Amino acid sequence: MTRRAYDNTRRAEQARATRRRVLNSARELLSEQGPAAVTMRDVATHAGVSAETVYKTFRTKAALIKDVYDVTLAGDDEPIPMIDRPEIQAVFAASGPREKLARYAHAARRIGERTGPLLAKLLAGARGGDPELAAFRETTNQERMIGAGGIVHHLAETGGLRAGVSPERATDIVWTLIAPEVYELLVSDRGWSADDYEQWLAQTLADALAAR
């Protein structure tokens, strides 16, 4: 490796480490205080970087929040689409519709555990009328619809979707059941354990969608 290539690699690694530190700091502050109370300068101070660095990296608070959510959803900052991650690949590898839906429920449970505290604050802000958070909620709803459609399409392709349930209706059912609001109501408000949630979701998905 040439000196120039080494320097470029080192700078890229340093930039990624800084970005990761900012994202972690933003997640902590947003989860504790809520988005209305957190400024870009607060995040910079917590991360030990300049406010200029935060603005240069993320441009806007809305973009920072979306990036924090995306990394929290995935569990890391690796550029790997959710569909290619082990939790979702396990769904495709399962042998039958009920096992596929059980593994999908496990993936939803893991996502809920990762995103729960953060999303509770962000969704509260969206319900409070913040236009940027309302747009964030709409975006994440659309992304969840794509994910729900993916599992339904896979079930239909493999003969696992129940007769008489259209893919469109099945997608709506999955989209609703895996909504973060449902996870928040059952786990945070009603005191269910994550195991309780996963077992309920697997059974409910199977009862509604799995071919008999």
Assigned architecture for domain 81-212 = Orthogonal Bundle (1.10)
Mean pLDDT of the chain: 94
Q: Buried (b) or exposed (e) across 198-207, using 16+ Cβ within 10 A?
A: bbbbbeebbe
Query: CB-based burial of residue 55 (10 Å sphere; 0-12 exposed, 13-18 middle, 19+ buried)?
Result: middle
**Fold of the domain built from segment(s) 1-79:** Tetracycline Repressor; domain 2 (1.10.357)
Per-residue pLDDT, 10: 80
Could you count the other beta carbons within 10 Å of the beta carbon of residue 166? 11
Per-residue pLDDT, 1: 64
User: Identical fold at 1-79 and 81-212?
Assistant: yes
Per-residue pLDDT, 63: 96
**What's the whole-number mean pLDDT along residues 95-99?**
96
Quickly state the pLDDT bin for 3 (edges 50, 70, 90).
Answer: low
List the end-to-end C-alpha distance of the chain, in Å, as a whole number: 59
Per-residue pLDDT, 20: 96
Q: Where are the domains of the chain?
A: 1-79, 81-212
Name the DSSP class of 95.
S
> Reduced to 3 states, what is the DSSP secondary structure of residue 161?
strand
Backbone angles phi, psi at 188, to 5 degrees: -80, -45
Q: Which stretch of 4-8, 63-67, 114-118 has the lowest confidence by average pLDDT?
A: 4-8
pLDDT at 140 over 90: yes
Per-residue pLDDT, 6: 55
Q: Is the pTM of this model over 0.85?
A: yes
Torsion of CA 48, 53, 55, 58, to 10 degrees: -90
Quick one: what percent of the chain has pLDDT higher than 90? 88
CA atoms of 28 and 20, how far apart (whole Å): 12
Quickly state the pLDDT bin for 12 (edges 50, 70, 90).
Answer: confident
| CA-wise closest residue to 97 among 207, 17, 13, 183 | 207
* 126/192: higher pLDDT: 192
At a CB cut-off of 8 Å and minimum separation 6, what does 148 contact? 171, 172, 174, 175, 178
